Every structure is written in structure tokens, then in C-alpha cells.
Amino acid sequence: MALRLCANLSYLFTERPLLDRFDAAARAGFLGVEIVRPYEAPAAALRARLNDAGLRAVLINSAAGDWAAGERGLACLPGREAAFRDSVHRALDYADALGCGLIHLMAGIRPAAVAPERAAALYAVRLAWAAEQAHAAGIRLTIEAINPHDIPGYFLSSQGQAAAYVEAVGADRVGLQFDIYHCQRTEGDVSRRLAEFMPIIAHVQIADAPGRNEPGTGEIGWAHLFGRLRDLGYAGWIGCEYVPSTAGPASLAWRVRYGLPPAEAPRTPIPETRP
């Protein structure tokens, strides 16, 4: 089975302004893109660049809250109900405008003064509410476990914890966003965890560990893992969410090394529908 790569425009081609990264991704052979912070530009401008480049919007993140103040999502934070709901509605508006079928709902960092049980209760209720809003709009949410080295205190820290929430809400409404880099940094045993959670995985992201650079720069066995994804029948997108270790085309050469060459398909504007 062919694996599909999408470029994370918040990590790749960052020497250019956000709106110019779409064309760069298309010229590099990508057919899809994902964006951590799409709210830096109007949705209509993003849509125009998608169409001009012949790209598909695969995934966007919900707003993280006050990033400068250290917020990394709002779903588990007491006292942020209104801001959380506004962030969900805004994400849904952007996803609709972009024809994007997946929204990563950021969980947030549990404040030290908030008991784990309280944060868990808030998160469960808010995730269920957001999932219903998204489902009504024909969009699926994803949730992701993030390693404590990169974001200390992030509410979701293991694949099993995230998977339990997916199962509780329903995999038709919420899918697991399996980030191989985060899994390796926190838990390891990536091959077995991919197999265990494959039925609920909606999206995969990649970066090598420990430096979060492109595949082939660290300790992860990518030839094995890409083969494992094929063997498991993974049909979703693979988001390239890594920090390039070098500038220019050299940071993309790993695709050929691991049998994932740039796409050669002709590019035409994508229709106003989601995948």
C-alpha cells in the first residue's frame, strides 16, 4: 500500500511567510498539507493558496490559547469554558473553509493547582461536546499524546491514555493522532503500539528522535516503521512535522531513501469537499 506524506507548514519551508509555503510544498512533491496555527492568515487566503497549488488540507490544530503565556490548548483548563468553545467554533469554521476533514483538539497543560481528577473530568466533557459539534459538521477530531520533554505537563502523555478517550467518545467522532516522535520519546515500542492502536489511528506524524529532525537523523528505524505501516494497511496521511536539520532539498532527501518519492501527479484545484 502506498503511503501518503503531507507537509506540516508550521515546521517546513519556514524561511517563507505562511502563505508562500503552499507553493513550496507543491514544488517539493507534496499533495497535502497540515497546519498547526492556520489562524495566522484568513481562511479565504489559505484556501486560495491551496487551490493555486493543487493541495489538500489534511489537518489543522485548534487554537492553543495564550501561547506566549504558556498555554498549549484549553480543553482541560478550569475557567476557560467560553474560550474553549470559541476555539472549537473557529477551528470548525476554518476546517469548513479549507475542506479539511481533521482537527487536532489541543488538550492543554494541567495547572499544578488543579487535581488530575478535575482536569480529567473537564477534558472528558469538553472533548465529548467538541466531538458532537465536529461530527455534525462532517469533521473528525484527533487527539495526541505529547512527550513531557517537549511540553512538560501536557494532559495527554501516552498512547493508551489518549486511546481510552477515543474509545469513550467513539472512534467515529475522535481518532488517535499517533506521533511516532512523541511515542518514541515517551514510551518506545513504537511498532507494537502502532499495531495495537491501528483501528483507531486517524493520522500519523513523524520526526526522528531525539532531535525532532527529519527521518534518518536519529535513532528510529524508519525502514522498518514505514514497512510496518504498509503491512498494517494504514490508509491515512503521514504528517511531516519535523524541524529540518539542514536548509533546502537536502532535508527532504530521506523520502527517496525510504521508498517515499515525491508525487508526480498533475495538480489541479481540489474540489470543495473533504476527504
Query: Within a domain: residue 261?
Result: no
Instruction: Provide the annotated active-site residues.
Output: 144, 241
pLDDT tens digits, the chain, 275 residues: what are they?
A: 689 999 999 999 999 999 999 999 999 999 999 999 999 999 999 999 999 999 999 999 999 988 888 889 999 999 999 999 999 999 999 999 999 999 999 999 999 999 999 999 999 999 999 999 999 999 999 999 999 999 999 999 999 999 999 999 999 999 999 999 999 999 999 999 999 999 999 999 999 999 999 999 999 999 999 999 999 999 999 999 999 999 888 899 999 999 997 654 444 444 444 44
What is the DSSP secondary-structure string of 84-111?
A: HHHHHHHHHHHHHHHT--EEE--B-BPP
Residue 139 lies in domain? 4-251
Cα–Cα nearest to 172, from 143, 144, 131, 205: 131
Query: Within a domain: residue 46?
Result: yes
pTM: 0.93
CB atoms inside a 10 Å sphere around CB 249: 8
Buried b (16+ CB within 10 A) or exposed e, 176-187: bbbbbbbbbbbb
Query: Within a domain: residue 8?
Result: yes
Collapse the DSSP code of 130 into the 3-class scheme (helix H, G, I; strand E, B; otherwise coil) and give the result.
helix
Query: Within a domain: residue 238?
Result: yes
Which helix (H) or strand (E) element contains residue 24? helix 18-27
Query: Within a domain: residue 107?
Result: yes
CATH number (domain holding residue 157)? 3.20.20.150
Query: Within a domain: residue 262?
Result: no
Query: Within a domain: residue 201?
Result: yes
Task: For residue 210, say if its preceding peptide bond is cis, omega within 30 degrees of 0.
Answer: yes
Query: Within a domain: residue 270?
Result: no
Number of domains within the chain = 1
